[in-house]
Chain A
């Protein structure tokens, strides 16, 4: 594991060494990073990958390609060829990461946790029987049964845990299969739709706008094709694709489209589709190779797994040391070795909470279910808690924090900036719409726009309608639709006579319309584009509906507004119009867009409009919650620093009153170097800066600033950041959606993939999937995770308590020689019978105080099972329970004739089956079987004693600090179900199965059920006192020692 990480890490350094400032080069460098990644893989892989990367398919001409793949671009492959190739190369799908074979998973459950101890117990049982058998052929089979029962317990709990695991994995696999992909392919000269899995190399496929590219494809014909490579490179800008060979590198040439990227648009003329030839399928695609790279990053142990291991170590340590200690004591007390072995078994069984791990599994899966309802799908059960202990969240920007769609945020007209509503439904547009300028502006917005709603969506809310067109135009279309109503109708009324679409040289878009005013025969020319370009073309400006000459002061105002909006990280567009004079341009005038036979200067400037991908409305609140919960939210994005900072500010990742070093420098008018770095709480770090940082500098950055935004980061830098955070002993959650994120997702303590935008590779690498892509869901997850940690503490405390009550009888039995107060089987009935449902019920307990106002737990200091918990459970409540149990036991024996005084050192005679006239305190004589029956009654009594006190224990465990009465005794109904189950199971065992001798239960006299009640009350009162002192003297010695 360590080695692999190192490899990737070193690649990071190389890969990002030369990230350049400009967009384009930046992208290239990312590619280089990727390439380096490939080279760094293991040797045999490297060979293979090199070969793949040296593919020259993009350089070949179509004819050469046809020859190479034995295909024809008109007729496609024949079905037989395709079938052959499919059989040869396998389906076109990513191989899911290597799963541990089911049998190994199963066996792991069988030997994990306490199972080893129980196996030892079982084997000791059989050994004991073997010894007995060798001495006496007719020895009883009790030990064999006990051994079998122990083995059965291990196997059953193992099967149970395995089943639970399998169930939660299944949720994921069904989820994966929800999205079958189709591909449009030409085979046997026919166009067919087939599942994308069946594509083979050489297939000719057609892609429409909006399709996912079904394999690595060499484009053969494509007009105005744009692909979204963000899942591969993290670039959010659409990339143009054409059929020309533009670059030597396969990764950079324009005529290759990659598997699993999305084709955003293909120009409608002449065919509306792009055609390409499949050159790589499945795992041999570029994305497939990255995905397999991610599987090289090993999974770290989850915090809860570490905690449970720690706990198992504690309990096993106690069990083994007490076991060995008493083995020695027993031997030195002249017990036979055989007896000593049997004692050892008893001690192990009493010490091991057999049912606990199953309970923990159930508890976790209950929470997982609850979280799934709140849109957090948990793949790995243990991840449920990890989110709760998260101290740093590295969040992606696009889609997670933001709505992932451009939206109009600000308008500037009449020398004023207006704020538009950017919430999810746009419902609340409050800016002043009475001005004449707005009327003109709205007309330009509506008309100078090529985006259209897909038909047939009248019933869909405007914001959810699907639009054909690019992001900004979509934003404008929706904006105007919300404010003005039916845009298409307006456009119809203002018939478009000519149009120049946006292109990167013009940087403007223009269209000419007939007006809807029948009296006005003039044409209206509307134009939008880059603000400075638009302003250049204008000589007047509209203020309050009146055209005014554009003087210096208005130009100044324009620039101020432009800078301000740009400073918010928004994309700004300028709008202007011109009514063409009717005399020059009569109704019959034909406009020629190529000859530009119309004026494009001296226009009238109307306004500015800025757009941003706005934060989701729930995010600021969620970030605040994270912050109060002591979780540091770091934004890691590929976007521009200004945009990133603006979004970070608007969602609160950079809080309103904190400044970056640059901000301070600007405010104080000093150089950046002169600023005391300690004054700045926030930092915006670009990928370029990051690549120059040593790990120590990164550590310093991460510790010194509480609010950090990483912008312009290459996807691989995410991994560096995650590792940096982990060096701070933080539990790191990473959100991501692209394939490129998958190594970081895997490296993180908890990887969170986006359910909607996320790629399959990301989902595979992640531990959790956010079904609604919403950051706020993470917060609910954190809350659930913290709650489950607290509740697990309670469950464990509850479960550990009775271990002492089960253990003490054995110790006393060995030392004092009383008849055995409680049998091994009976103990198993407590651990796996009466105690199971109550301990699960604790998982339903509500939080005592606002858990979201607490700091996240320290990975190494705040243990699940700490000293206080163990001591309080074992030495306080546990001992009271043991005492209570003994009182019931002594009561039963005394009332039957054996007073405690006579019981001492009675063990040998008591257990001798040949002694059939053993005298009790009254001189009565007992046969062996009568004694045995009394002993079982004692077991039952002790069992009932523990059970009654466990009810009290259950109630006190509801809270750790608050009084039960503050928490509400009846708020958690499941607790009462648990108590009822305890009582019912005990009643069934005693009265229902009391006649089955093998179970060692007898029908207990009703009054014995109440002997332990005073002790139950004592437990409750004692714990209330403890909590009272904790509340009265916070921070005192008492709290330090008594609060677990």
Chain B
């Protein structure tokens, strides 16, 4: 059967015919192979009712086989060391020529196209599946409240100004060394400007949670936290936040966590001290607001989507008397019921450590 097909097409390209002859030798070398294959093919023809289709398929196979053969041929020729190949280049050229111009070979391009299409569909459906999965996943997740908040609880602590480092090194007499802190603080506090706060947020009663019942998707109001609450560290009276006098202000904020409520009646307090070394390196710190605590009215937080104007409460630490010209490691901790501040691995949960090195 194979041979019939071959001879039928043989005149199409004389060079092709040559290879087919070669191929026959090769087939002979594959003892056993020939007979069985033929038998198989016959059997197949008998099983499959639609002969024509079968033949087409056969043809396709045929082509592929030929392709392989030619490839092999090429390889062999590449290898062919011992053979005196006078017109080897010419032969190669013929092969390339045949590959490019043989009308049969165009079929292989079509097949490559087919493969690409199939892969396209395969990946498209995979993409569809993943999209569907993600979609159903988001259907199950509330946009207002994350399903789990254990990882982000207990709250972390961060300070401002933040300049990618927790070492505050500056020389009082050289404004260049601290100017960026001032700019950072000013920028940070823009959102706390009294006018803005009064305009956007409500003044809610202190000492209690600001609970807003109602539908989840309702917009929530936020409590005012005015810049002026920070007094000497608000930058309103001293636009350099004390940096020009060697008494730097550092603002401390607690990380926002949806639904987090400090213990009732016991607001979270901030206290700072020298982390290592002489306790007396810091002789006094002023806290603003004076309670050094985060008022309960700023809790709970309802999430970014509905609680749009929420402003995190701050505690400002005014280091009014710190030893100069030496690095002082400072640790500020949150204190209060339910607050954790001694996680070994995480030095920002319930506490923050930074160094002050004020030069004069």
Contacts and interface: CB of A to CB of B under 8 A. Distances in A.
Interface of A: 630, 632, 703, 706, 728, 855, 858, 875-876, 879-880, 883, 886-887, 890-891, 894-897, 899-900, 912, 914, 916-917, 919-930, 933-934, 937, 997, 1005, 1014, 1018, 1034-1037, 1040-1041
Contact of A883 (B111, B130, B151): B130
B122 interface: yes
B255 A880 contact: no
Nearest to B57: A1036
Contacts of B137: 887, 890-891, 894
B156 A917 contact: yes
B130 A928 contact: no
Interface stretch (B84-92, B202-210, B341-349): B341-349
A899 B138 contact: yes
B165 A895 contact: no
Contact of B156 (A900, A920, A926, A1040): A926
B23 interface: no
Given A895-B147, A925-B255, A879 B345 contact: no
Nearest to A630: B32
A895 B255 contact: no
B158 A923 contact: no
B303 to A, nearest CB: 4
A929 B258 CA distance: 19
Contact of A855 (B36, B115, B148, B152): B36
B348 A929 contact: yes
Contacts of B117: none
A740 B144 CA distance: 86
Given A703-B28, A914-B165, A922 B303 contact: yes
Interface stretch (B5-13, B272-280, B283-291, B304-312): B304-312
Contacts, number: 142
B104 interface: no
Given A876-B122, A883-B130, A897 B138 contact: no
B156 A855 contact: no
B77 to A, nearest CB: 16
A930 B151 contact: yes
Contacts of A997: 345
B353 to A, nearest CB: 11
Contacts of B145: 922
Contacts of B130: 883, 886-887
B257 A924 contact: yes
B348 A706 contact: no
Given A886-B130, A930-B156, A1037-B57, 9 more contacts: A703-B31, A883-B129, A887-B130, A890-B134, A896-B146, A925-B158, A927-B158, A1037-B111, A1040-B64
B149 A897 contact: yes
Contact of A924 (B115, B152, B157): B152
Contacts of A887: 130, 133-134, 137
A538 B32 CA distance: 54
B32 A855 contact: yes
B121 interface: no
Contacts of B141: 894-895, 899
A1014 B137 CA distance: 13
The 8 A-B pairs at the shortest CB distance, nearest first, are namely A923-B304, A927-B156, A929-B346, A925-B255, A927-B348, A916-B348, A897-B146, A917-B158
A930 B152 contact: yes
Contacts of A883: 126, 129-130
B29 A703 contact: yes
Interface string B157-185: 11000101110000000000000000000
A721 B269 CA distance: 94
B151 A1018 contact: no
B227 interface: no
A895 B151 CA distance: 11
Contacts of A890: 134, 137
Contacts of B144: 922
Contacts of B19: none
A928 B255 CA distance: 12
Contact of A900 (B122, B123, B134): B134
Contacts of A897: 146, 148-149, 152, 258
A914 B36 contact: no
B185 to A, nearest CB: 16
Contacts of B111: 1037
Name which of B30, B165, B166 has the most chain A CB atoms within 10 A of its CB. B30
Contact of A925 (B31, B134, B257): B257
B134 A923 contact: no
14 contacts: A630-B32, A703-B28, A875-B119, A887-B137, A914-B165, A924-B152, A925-B152, A925-B257, A927-B349, A929-B343, A929-B345, A929-B346, A930-B152, A1035-B44
Interface string B59-100: 011001000000000000000000000000000000000000
Contacts of B310: 923
Contact of B256 (A921, A923, A928, A1034): A923
A879 B123 contact: yes
Contacts of B30: 858
B261 interface: no
Interface string B201-238: 00000000000000000000000000000000000000
B44 A933 contact: no
Nearest to A858: B30
Given A880-B126, A923-B258, A925-B257, A896 B303 contact: no
A930 B164 CA distance: 18
A855 B33 contact: yes
Nearest to A856: B32
B152 A706 contact: no
A409 to B, nearest CB: 32
B31 A914 contact: no
A118 B148 CA distance: 39
B151 A933 contact: yes
B134 A896 contact: no
A714 B126 CA distance: 66
A819 to B, nearest CB: 13
A630 B35 CA distance: 12
B301 interface: yes
A919 B347 CA distance: 18
A917 B29 CA distance: 74
A919 B348 CA distance: 15
A728 B165 CA distance: 73
B115 A1041 contact: yes
Given A916-B158, A922-B304, A930 B61 contact: no
A928 B348 contact: yes
A1035 B61 contact: yes
Nearest to B155: A925
Contacts of A1014: 133
B134 A1037 contact: no
Interface string B261-272: 000000000000
Interface in B1-52: 28-33, 36, 44
Contacts of A879: 123, 126
Contacts of B158: 916-917, 925, 927
B349 A930 contact: yes
A1037 B352 CA distance: 66
Given A897-B146, A922-B305, A929 B349 contact: yes
Contacts of A855: 32-33, 36
B219 to A, nearest CB: 14
A513 B5 CA distance: 80
Given A927-B156, A930-B156, A896 B64 contact: no
A924 B129 contact: no
B253 interface: yes
A880 B128 CA distance: 12
B79 to A, nearest CB: 12
B345 A925 contact: no
A924 B258 contact: yes
A703 B235 CA distance: 98
Contacts of A703: 28-29, 31
Given A914-B165, A924-B152, A1034-B44, A632 B345 contact: no
